[in-house]
Chain A
Amino acid sequence: VELVESGGGLIQPGGSLRLSCAGSGFLVSSFDMSWVRQAPGKGLEWISVMYSGGDTYFADSVKGRFTISRDQSKNTQFLQMNNLKVEDTAVYFCARRRGGSDWYFDLWGRGTLVTVSS
């Protein structure tokens, strides 16, 4: 059971990038999945959730710029990042959300680095 992120890299401000989160050992679409990022030297920042039913929510810092989709045939979720800013530079992790009323993340990928710089 694991999650593997990919798609990070160096991108100029204003550019776009699509990150992938591939699951193995379980069905990604059966769980609520989140993206969490960590900027260099900073803490963890939650940025999004896609419920198993398809609804999505985003932190204010990325709302209107980031979207989420998934491909069940590939057991993969995607984070589409548009109009990237320097402050979006971070390692991006995908995580599986568990819990009913009280949420927690029991499975994490190793992350993929996104660097936004001119």
Chain B
Amino acid sequence: SSELTQGPAVSVALGQTVRITCQGDSLSRYYASWYQKRPGQAPLLVMYPKTNRPSGIPDRFSGSTSGNTASLTITGAQAEDEADYFCASRDTSGNYVVFGGGTKVTVL
């Protein structure tokens, strides 16, 4: 089965920009989606294929993709953006989903 690789953690100063990356073979065939996960809360979709923001998600969140790498960028990070972020895509088999290991974003 496919795997998606994310860096474990990143920190960003309040108001600055941070980019989270997600790499995997499945991304050369399928686009990624991104989820924000705070402790004790349901995952929240923040970016869906192909780099679209759901209604209600601030425009400081943006997505991009190149080859087998997807990226989520937060431009002007806010304190409330501190959370774990997970990428996901359809598996190369077509009937499964694979999640990245998650990146913990700390806003300083």
Contacts and interface: CB of A to CB of B under 8 A. Distances in A.
Residue from the set A45, A98, A103, A109 with the largest chain B CB neighbour count within 10 Å: A103
Interface stretch (B9-17, B42-50, B75-83): B42-50
Nearest to A56: B95
B61 interface: no
Nearest to A45: B99
A97 to B, nearest CB: 8
A49 interface: yes
Interface residues of A, number: 25
A44 B37 contact: yes
Interface string A4-45: 000000000000000000000000000000101010000111
Interface string B75-105: 0000000001010111000011111111000
A106 B57 CA distance: 12
29 contacts: A38-B37, A43-B84, A43-B86, A43-B101, A44-B37, A44-B43, A44-B99, A44-B102, A46-B88, A46-B99, A49-B95, A49-B96, A49-B97, A93-B42, A95-B43, A99-B33, A99-B48, A101-B90, A102-B30, A102-B33, A102-B48, A102-B49, A103-B89, A103-B90, A103-B97, A104-B88, A105-B33, A105-B43, A106-B45
Interface of B: 1, 30-31, 33, 35, 37, 41-45, 48-50, 54, 84, 86, 88-90, 95-102
